[in-house]
Amino acid sequence: MAYDFNKIATNYDRLNHIMTAGMDRLWRRRAAKEAIKTARRKTASDTNASTLDVACGTGDMAIELLKRGSSVTGIDLSEEMLTIARRKTAEANFQLANAEALPFDDATFDAVTSAFGIRNFVHLDKGLAEMARVLKSGGRMVILEMSTPDSALVRPFYNLYTRRIIPWLGSRLAGNREAYTYLPNSIERFPKGKAMLQKLEAVGLRAEQHKFFFGVCRMYVCEKNELMC
């Protein structure tokens, strides 16, 4: 069962920025830029590209997409997170919805994104299939997710930071050690690299990965196979 993010919504942004030394902002910008390459294929007479941001949280990814000219619909299971997102911007359409049963027709969106959210899906394969279903043929899906580093040299420092320091920060700054113990545990369990690429390909996506900061964060850039539309 996924963690209830309503409990940490108030401190979510602050802790994210502290724990990643602000790099989460850079990673979102890179992901948004990749996602709206779909928009650049449109002619001047076309309407703006539409993007679905899945597990949108407090709206930071949606804001990056809006800056780049896309219309944005954001969905999340946490009403508290969505409340914060709506305070940040009124330009996106934020709504309560389950990523494993998206309330949209097939081939609705030009692009689909998710930043640090799919790790919390109860049924990952089902969620990915839903994201691919609502993506238009030839559309682009971009996923950002935390991961474990591949390097044996980096791994001990990563383990110390995620297993000791992050729970301590969660306890001191958010008053919630439980949530920030769940975080590294969920990262450890989540498929990465080749295993994740295989899951994306299984739902009809051509996928590649990009690693940031020794693989602590990974970006999966995918395009929907036109034969799967």
CATH of the domain at 33: 3.40.50.150
Do 184 and 208 form a contact (C-beta atoms < 8 A)? no
pLDDT digit of tens for each residue in the chain (229 aa)? Answer: 455 666 666 777 777 788 888 899 999 999 999 998 865 554 344 567 899 999 999 999 999 999 999 999 999 999 999 999 999 999 999 999 999 999 999 999 999 999 999 998 999 999 999 999 999 999 999 999 999 998 888 888 888 888 888 777 767 666 666 766 777 788 888 999 999 999 999 999 999 999 999 899 999 999 997 654 4
pLDDT at 27: 95
Q: Nearest 10 degrees: CA dihedral of 134, 147, 202, 25?
A: 30
DSSP single-letter state for residue 229: -
pLDDT at 6: 66
Residue 1 maps to a domain: no
Residue 217 maps to a domain: yes
Do 35 and 113 form a contact (C-beta atoms < 8 A)? yes
Residue 6 maps to a domain: no
pLDDT at 7: 65
Residue 162 maps to a domain: no
pLDDT per position as a tens digit, 147-205: 999 888 888 888 888 888 877 776 766 666 676 677 778 888 899 999 999 999 999 99
Backbone angles phi, psi at 185, to 5 degrees: -65, -40
d(C-alpha 196, C-alpha 119), whole Å: 11
Residue 45 maps to a domain: yes
Going from the C-alpha of 227 to that of each of 39, 54, 137, 138, the distances in angstroms are 21, 24, 8, 9
pLDDT at 218: 96
Q: Give how many domains the chain has, as a whole number.
A: 1
Residue 160 maps to a domain: no
Q: Which domain holds residue 224?
A: 20-148+191-228
Residue 135 maps to a domain: yes
Residue 139 maps to a domain: yes
